[in-house]
Amino acid sequence: MIRIAKKALVLVEWNCESQNKDPYSLGVYQFGHWVRNYIGLLREFVPKDKIRLTKIPKKIWGGKGWGELGYIIEAII
């Protein structure tokens, strides 16, 4: 995705800073959805100061998992 993006990546995903259950830091599968540490994954390709996470409020997008783990993830290339 980074290779073909011109200016930025914008993702709406479940994010969690700690992935203690996953030794490879690729993510964990819970509630039928992958939860990943996107700062950790993207930092290999984009400087950390170019990655921004915005929490999705429960009142905007509730439901199982989204209220706790839902984020808009932006990586400026």
Number of domains in the chain: 1
Sequence letter at residue 14: W
Is 24 domain-assigned? yes
Q: What domain range includes position 68?
A: 8-72
- Please say whether the beta carbons of 10 and 42 come within 8 A: no
Q: Is 21 part of any domain?
A: yes
Decide if 3 is inside a domain. no
CA 54 to CA 56: how far, in whole Å? Answer: 6
In a domain, 23, yes or no: yes
Give 30-35 contacts, CB < 8 A, sequence gap 24+.
Answer: 30/65, 31/64, 31/65, 33/65, 35/65, 35/69
Q: What is the pLDDT of residues 25-71, one digit of tens each?
A: 678 888 888 999 999 899 989 999 999 999 999 888 878 888 889 99
Mean pLDDT comparison of 7-11, 20-24, 30-34, 59-63, highest-scoring range: 7-11
- pTM of full prediction above 0.85: no
